[in-house]
Amino acid sequence: MQKTLTARTLHTGIGIIEYPVLSLSSDGTIVDISSDPKALANETTTLTATFLDVHMHGGRGHDVMTASPAELSDLQRYLAQRGVAHYLPTTVTASIETTLRALESLANAIERATGEGEAQPIGIHLEGPFLSHTKRGVHPAELLLPPSIELFDRFYAAARGHIKLMTIAPEVGAAIELITHARKMGVRLSLGHSNATAAETLAALDAGATSATHTFNAMRALDHREPGILGVVLDEDRLYAELICDGVHVAPPLIRLWLKAKGLDKAILVTDAMSAAGMPDGDYMLGPLTATIANGRALLKDDLLQGKETLAGSILTLEKAVANLQRFTGVTVGDAARLASHNPAAMLGRPELTELAQGSLANLNRFDGEGNLIATYLRGKQV
């Protein structure tokens, strides 16, 4: 028995369909997309592809590095309720043994069948340990390691090939060699937690780097004579660029600058969410670290006790990032949603994850006339 979904507009990633009528099969795929202006004259909602978060550490009190299968299912239901159909569970720098155990556990999660109404993990984002000491953020200094092909291969084997994205500082040790090696294995490389010069960043780009991790945060500051990594990230059309659009990590004028520089095709919204997302204020874990949540910010507890404030990820959700981008920049809901769906999928080389066409899965987000998420459909079923 076929089902239909309708809206005022449908944003497909390659164009906009006015007054769409989507016919869905019983297995949740799109059979046909047509248009009926007369019947839908009073429709005011917008349909887009569901979100893909390529940088998130947890939520609902669960950290992806330590979560049990039941806890991951709970996290994945929470993500789906916020418009996310796919995500990359993201590690944080920890001991080698802890990281190996986490990678094996996450590989198990990726290979398990995902429950109904849950976001699906489609790969792992390895953030650390190959980062700069100068721009380490909350990553523990004593656990950072120089880039090593041998160690990366151990991580890759433990993850059974499911590492799909890795953050690396291009100026550290043998980073360029590792970027070349990992790229040949199908891993996308994101430049971040870095104090790299412009030349060092360009060398990484030439070696195969694809993206930049949480642009502006944990990056060498922009200088008019030495643009550094940030200058290259903003200027280079070859690079995608993540951004945490919560108004805490990056001020709105710089969010607008980022969007002007990267455009609607190379800008990516991420959450960098930690386990406290969706939870009340208090203390929560980020890998081996403790973060204190208060006043909408996640701060490293050890630094707070010493009178310093160090951001420890975020408590952002992607539907809030999409709403914030509309508010901060004035873009349409369709364009804002693109940055959380089609762009990260394209960066990973997986455009089919957010495709909306005949034969695609009916994974859709519905927004009201003010650009707020009001419904999510996974395989045609409302979450």
pLDDT at 307: 85
pLDDT at 201: 98
Taking only the tens place, the pLDDT of each residue in 347-371 is: 999 999 999 999 999 999 999 999 9
Taking only the tens place, the pLDDT of each residue in 21-36 is: 999 999 999 999 999 9
pTM above 0.75, yes or no: yes
Secondary structure (3-state) at 209: coil
Query: Is 272 a known active-site residue?
Result: yes
Among 240-249, 307-316, 346-355, the least confident range: 307-316
In the predicted model, what is the mean pLDDT of residues 368-381? 97
Mean pLDDT across the chain, nearest whole number? Answer: 96
pLDDT at 288: 81
The catalytically annotated residue of 53, 272, 281, 303 is: 272
Tell me: pLDDT of 2 over 80: no
User: 363-366 — which CB contacts under 8 Å span 24+ positions?
Assistant: 363/49, 363/50, 363/85, 364/5, 364/22, 364/47, 364/48, 364/49, 364/50, 365/47, 365/48, 365/49, 365/50, 365/51, 365/83, 365/319, 365/337, 366/7, 366/45, 366/46, 366/47
pLDDT at 11: 98
pLDDT at 206: 98
pLDDT band at 1 (very low <50, low <70, confident <90, very high): low
Buried/exposed 281-308: b ≥16 CB within 10 Å, e otherwise: eeebbbbebebbbeeebbbbbbbbeeee
Percentage helix, strand, coil for the chain under 3-state DSSP, each rounded to 5: 30, 25, 45
pLDDT band at 38 (very low <50, low <70, confident <90, very high): confident
Taking only the tens place, the pLDDT of each residue in 57-72 is: 999 999 999 999 999 9
